Amino acid sequence: MSRSAPVRTQDTASAPANADARPAIRARGITKSYGTGAGAVTALDGVDLDIASGRFTAIMGPSGSGKSTLLHVLAGLDSVDSGSIELDGIETTTLKDRELTLLRRDRIGFVFQSFNLLPMLTARQNIVLPLDLAGRRVDEAWLETVVGALGLTERLDHRPAQLSGGQIQRVAIARALVTSPAVVVADEPTGNLDSRTTDEVLDFLRLSVDELGQTVVMVTHERDAAEHADRIISLVDGRIDSDEQAPFTAGGR
């Protein structure tokens, strides 16, 4: 079949490939302190950050550098002292508690170190819990895709006690993905796992980005874990100290 190439004007040819791509999260000038007076601790000290949609971003840094605080304020779990945060196009710093709860429920998936699965529920019941709580119908096709990608199809009727640590964390990832959130946030998701299971979980987070098109932001203090991401942001004393894109050179800077 002979078909001429699509006509491209100079303008469209030079436009960025993904010109309408809005970042999943856009943070500007965010600051956050804990405590007051002489005992005050500055956890975030003026952070500007865009988190690209459909990418895997790692936040690294030493203990106490502000990683968890950053992830929590980005995900609307904690307030900022100043600055602005747009998530999925919504300014979150001015939302009321009730609106924030809905935003977290509908647009964010959470994977935390402590597994937080309910022991009396099966894997499937745990995975669809966020939908049940929201009164939303299960999209069976998407559930099947997520569960298949995470290798959990044969495990859906098992309770957490019948699953390995890696399988439990995969269920937690599936639960974070089941609502097709705008952003999945993970705080040290491999902190409790042995090295083989750690690799497995990181591979599944990677796969959720590459094959399911999700947006993942992961906090870790381990360089090896961070290198599974497309980008590594390093915090020191509540500020961005470096910002690297894959491929990473050994040891970072």
Ligand X SMILES: Nc1ncnc2c1ncn2[C@@H]1O[C@H](COP(=O)(O)OP(=O)(O)O)[C@@H](O)[C@H]1O
Site residues (CB under 6 A) for ligand X?
34-35, 41, 43, 61, 63-69
Say which residue the tokens 């590594």 belong to.
232
Q: Which stretch binds Mg ion (CB under 5 A): 51-59, 66-74, 113-121, 161-169?
A: 66-74
SS3 state at 79 = coil
Specify whether the CB–CB gap between 69 and 83 falls below 8 A.
no
Q: Which stretch binds Mg ion (CB under 5 A): 63-71, 153-161, 208-216, 223-231?
A: 63-71
At 194, the amino acid letter reads D
Task: State in angstroms the smallest separation of the CB of 202 from Mg ion.
Answer: 17
Among ligand X, Mg ion, none, residue 126 binds (CB under 5-8 Å by kind): none
Q: Can you list the positions of beta strands (E) in 68-226?
A: 82-87, 90-91, 108-112, 183-187, 216-219
* Main-chain dihedrals φ then ψ at residue 224, nearest 5 degrees: -60, -45
> Which residue, 151 or 252, is less far from ligand X as judged by CB?
252
Say which residue the tokens 């960025």 belong to.
16
Contacts of 50 (CB under 8 A, 6+ apart): 23, 25, 26, 27
Task: State in angstroms the smallest separation of the CB of 196 from ligand X.
Answer: 25
What part of residues 194-253 is at the interface with Mg ion (CB under 5 A)? none
> Which residue, 67 or 175, is less far from Mg ion as judged by CB?
67
Task: State in angstroms the smallest separation of the CB of 127 from ligand X.
Answer: 27
Specify whether the CB–CB gap between 141 and 122 falls below 8 A.
no
Task: State in angstroms the smallest separation of the CB of 30 from ligand X.
Answer: 12
Among ligand X, Mg ion, none, residue 69 binds (CB under 5-8 Å by kind): ligand X
Task: State in angstroms the smallest separation of the CB of 219 from Mg ion.
Answer: 6
Distance of alpha carbon 155 from alpha carbon 169, whole angstroms: 13
At 121, the amino acid letter reads L
> What is the pairing mode between strands 25-34 and 41-51?
antiparallel
> Which residue, 62 or 213, is less far from Mg ion as judged by CB?
62
> Which residue, 61 or 189, is less far from ligand X as judged by CB?
61
Task: State in angstroms the smallest separation of the CB of 36 from ligand X.
Answer: 11
Question: CA 130 → CA 115, 181, 233, distances in Å?
Answer: 15, 11, 29
Check binding of 68 to Mg ion (CB under 5 A).
Answer: yes
Which single residue brings its beta carbon nearest to Mg ion? 68
Among Mg ion, ligand X, none, residue 34 binds (CB under 5-8 Å by kind): ligand X
Chain contacts with Mg ion (rule: CB under 5 A): 67-68
